[in-house]
Amino acid sequence: MTTDSAPTPEGDSSIPDEVWQQFLTDNERDIRASAPKEPSARARIVARRLREQEERAAAPGARRRWGRRGSAPAPAAPAAHDTAWRTGRTDEGDRRTLRRSRVRGMVAVVVLVVVLLIVLSPSHAWSLVTGNG
């Protein structure tokens, strides 16, 4: 067994010309586009959850939403303490938002009544504003 450790002559190259040409024409964007991509931590977590859901659905005796067997169960609602740290939402903030939406709804009803009064009977609306009956 012999090994060829002799250097190649100046004109000869062990790499084909088209590989050299590709090396010369590739720019950083092309190299980054062809590089393998590792999924993010969030993508791995989501993939794991989906895989677990599929395994639970495929388990014998799994019930469907409407009483049939063999499909995924209805997803459970997340507990408040599970989602609060992710969304920045708290119970106090939810109550405040609900209160604001109720006030906005009442204001919208009052504005709608006033606009309808003006549109349907402008003279009556003007007499209510000026106090002349």
CA distance 133 to 117: 16
Structural domain harbouring 47: 15-73
Number of domains in the chain: 2
63 and 101 housed in the same domain:
no
Residue 80 lies in a domain: no
- Mark whether 64 and 23 lie in a shared domain: yes
Global pTM value: 0.32
Same domain, 63 and 112: no
Look at residue 22 and tell me if it is in a domain: yes
Alpha-carbon distances, residue 46 vs 50, 51, 56, 60 (angstroms): 6, 9, 15, 24
Residue type, 106: M
pLDDT tens for residues 59-98?
A: 876 555 555 555 555 555 555 555 555 556 677 888 888 9
Q: How far apart are CA 61 and CA 113, in angstroms?
A: 57
Q: Are 79 and 85 in contact (CB under 8 A)?
A: no
Based on the fold, state whether residues 20 and 59 are members of the same structural domain.
yes
Angle between helix 122-130 and helix 91-120 axes, rounded to 10 deg? 110
Residues 68 and 99 in one domain: no
